Chains A and B, each alone.
Chain A
Amino acid sequence: MRTKIGIPRSLFYYKFIPFWDSFFNGLGAEVVISGPTNKKILDSGVKTCVDEACLPVKLYFGHVLELKDKADFILVPRFTSISKKEYICPEFGGLPDVIRHTLKDLPPLITTEINLRRTGKGGVDAAIEMASEIGVDGKTAAAAYKRALEVQRVRGNTFAIEEYFGDTGTRDTGTGTLSHTSENPAGKRERELNLKVAVIGHPYNIYDKYISMDLLGKLKKYGIGIKTIEMTDENETNKHSARLKKPMFWYYGRTAYGAALHLASSGEIDGMICVTSFGCGIDSFVNDLIERRIRKDYKIPLIIMTIDEHSGEAGFNTRLEAFVDMLQWRRANENNISTSG
Chain B
Amino acid sequence: MKITFPHLGNTYICVKAIFDDLGIDYVIPPFNNKKALELGTRYVSEMVCLPLKINIGNYIQAYEMGADTILMAGGCGPCRFGYYSQLHQEILRDAGFDMEIITLESVYGIGDLLGRIKRLMPDNGAYLKLPGVIRRAVKVAKNTDELEMLTFRLRARESEPGNVDGIYRAFRENALKTYGTKATLKLIDETTDKLDSVSLKPDAKPLKIGIVGEIYTGIEQFASFEIQERLGRLGVEADRKVTVSNWIIEHMLKKGLHLPRDLSYARAAKPWLGTMIGGHAQETVGNTVLYAQNGYDGVIQIFPFSCMPEIVAESLLPYIERDLGIPVLTLIIDEMTGEAGYMTRVEAFIDMLEKRRERKKYEGGWTLSWD
- Real complex partners, A and B? yes
Residues of B within 8 A of A52 (CB): 305-306, 311, 314, 332
CB distance A93 to B275 under 8 Å? yes
A215-223, A242-250, A329-337 - the one binding chain B: A242-250
* One of B191-199, B205-213, B277-285 at the interface: B277-285
B86 partner residues in chain A, CB cutoff 8 A: 244-246, 248, 289
- Quick one: given A245-B86, A281-B49, A292-B90, are A90 and B308 in contact (CB under 8 Å)? yes
Which single residue of chain B is at the shortest CB-CB distance from A95?
A: B312
Cβ–Cβ contact B312 & A98, under 8 A: yes
Tally of contact residues, A, Cβ under 8 A: 43
Q: Does B319 contact A (CB under 8 A)?
A: yes
Contact check, A285 vs B315: say whether CB atoms are below 8 A apart: no
B residues less than 8 Å from A285 (CB atoms): 48, 80, 83, 87
Q: In the assembly, what is the distance between CA of A276 and CA of B46, in Å?
A: 13
Q: Could you tell me if A88 and B78 are in contact, using CB atoms closer than 8 angstroms?
A: yes
Give CA–CA (A102, B80) in the complex, Å.
26
For chain A, residues 80 to 129, give those with C-beta under 8 angstroms from any C-beta of chain B. Answer: 80, 85-91, 93-94, 96-98, 101-102, 113
Q: In chain B, what residue has the closest Cβ to A98?
A: B315
CB-CB under 8 A from A53, the residues of chain B are: 311, 315
Q: Are A101 and B308 in contact (CB under 8 A)?
A: no
- Whether B312 and A249, one on each chain, are in contact in the complex, defined by CB atoms closer than 8 angstroms, is no
Q: Is B31 an interface residue (CB 8 A)?
A: no
B216 to chain A, nearest CB (A): 14
- Complex contacts, B307 vs chain A, CB 8 Å: 281
In the docked arrangement, what's the CA distance between A96 and B315, Å? 12
Within B260-285, the residues touching A (CB, 8 Å) are: 272-275, 277-279, 281
Specify the chain B residue showing the minimal Cβ separation from A57.
B311
Annotate B97-122 by CB proximity to A: 1 below 8 A, 0 otherwise. Answer: 00000010001000000000000000
Is A279 an interface position by the 8 A CB rule?
yes
Shortest beta-carbon distance from A307 to chain B in Å: 13
Pick from B76, B79, B87: contact of A90, CB under 8 Å: B79
Interface pair B281/A90, CB less than 8 Å apart: yes
Chain B residue contacts of A249, Cβ below 8 A? 76-78, 82-83
A19-53 interface code vs B (CB 8 A; 1 in, 0 out)? 00000000000000000000000000000011011
Q: Do the beta carbons of A284 and B277 come within 8 Å of each other? A: no
- Known contacts A52-B314, A93-B312, A250-B77; A87 and B278 CB within 8 A of each other: yes
Interface string of A259-280 (1 = CB under 8 A from B): 0000000000000000010111
Q: A288 on the interface (CB 8 Å rule)? A: yes
Q: Is A147 an interface residue (CB 8 A)?
A: no
- The distance in angstroms between the C-alpha atoms of A49 and B315, with both chains bound, is 8
B47 at the interface (CB under 8 A from A): yes
CA separation between A74 and B83, bound complex, in Å?
A: 34
Q: Is B58 an interface residue (CB 8 A)?
A: no
Is there an interface contact between B306 and A279, defined as CB atoms closer than 8 Å? yes
Contact (Cβ within 8 A) A288 B45: yes
Asked whether A66 is an interface residue with its Cβ less than 8 Å from the other chain, the reply is: no
Q: Which chain B positions have C-beta within 8 A of A281? A: 49, 80, 306-308
Contacts of A214 in B (CB 8 A): none
In the bound complex, how far is the Cα of B286 from the Cα of A317, in angstroms?
A: 45
Q: How far is the CA of A296 from the CA of B94 in the complex (A)?
A: 9
| B309 on the A face (CB < 8 A) | yes
A217-258 to B contact mask, C-beta < 8 Å, 1/0? 000000000000000000000000000111111100000000
Q: Mark B66-90, 1 if CB is under 8 A from A, else 0.
A: 0000000000111110110111011
Instruction: List B contacts of A276 (CB < 8 A).
Output: 47
Chain A residues contacting B48 (CB-CB under 8 Å) are 284-285, 288
- Answer yes or no: A171 CB below 8 A from chain B CBs: no
CB of B28 to closest CB in A, whole Å: 26
CB–CB B281/A94 < 8 A: yes
- Asked if B346 is at the interface (CB within 8 A of a chain A CB), the reply is no
List chain A residues, Cβ under 8 A from B274. 78, 96-97
Contact of B314 with A284 in the complex, beta carbons under 8 Å: no
- Please give, as numbers and ranges, the residues of chain B lying within 8 Å of A247 by CB-CB distance: 107
Closest residue on chain A to residue B277 by CB atoms: A93
A295 to B131, CA, bound (A): 47
Q: CA–CA, A159 to B48, complex, Å?
A: 33
A104 to B335, CA, bound (A): 37
Of all chain A residues, the one with the shortest Cβ separation from B47 is: A284
Q: Does A208 contact B (CB under 8 A)?
A: no
Residues in A with CB closer than 8 Å to B85 are 246
Q: In the complex, A291→B87 CA distance in Å? A: 12
Chain A's closest residue to B276 (CB) is A93
Q: What's the nearest-Cβ distance from chain A to residue B281, in Å? A: 7
Q: Given contacts A50-B311, A90-B312, A289-B87, is CB(A97)–CB(B77) below 8 Å?
A: no
Q: Which residues of A contact B319 (CB under 8 A)?
A: 101-102
B236 to chain A, nearest CB (A): 26
A283 contacts B by Cβ under 8 Å? yes
Task: Kindly state whether residue B316 has any CB partner on chain A within 8 Å.
Answer: yes
Least CB distance, A277 to chain B, in whole angstroms: 10
Q: Are B312 and A292 in contact (CB under 8 A)?
A: no
Residue from the list A78, A87, A244, A291 in contact with B275, Cβ < 8 A: A78
B308 touches A89 (CB 8 A): yes
CA distance A276 to B48 in the complex (A): 13
Assembled-state Cα–Cα distance A247/B75 (Å):
11
25 A-B residue pairings within 8 Å (CB atoms): A49-B315, A52-B306, A52-B311, A78-B274, A87-B78, A87-B278, A89-B308, A90-B79, A90-B309, A90-B312, A91-B308, A91-B312, A93-B78, A94-B277, A94-B315, A97-B274, A101-B272, A101-B316, A248-B83, A249-B77, A280-B47, A281-B307, A281-B308, A283-B47, A287-B45
User: Top 7 nearest A-B pairs by Cβ distance?
Assistant: A94-B312, A93-B277, A87-B78, A249-B77, A284-B47, A50-B315, A90-B278
Q: A101-B315, A283-B47 are in contact. List 10 more A-B contacts (CB 8 A).
A: A90-B279, A90-B309, A91-B312, A246-B107, A249-B82, A279-B47, A281-B307, A281-B308, A285-B48, A288-B90
Q: Chain B: residues with CB nearer than 8 A to chain A?
A: 45, 47-49, 76-80, 82-83, 85-87, 89-90, 94, 103, 107, 272-275, 277-279, 281, 305-309, 311-316, 319, 332
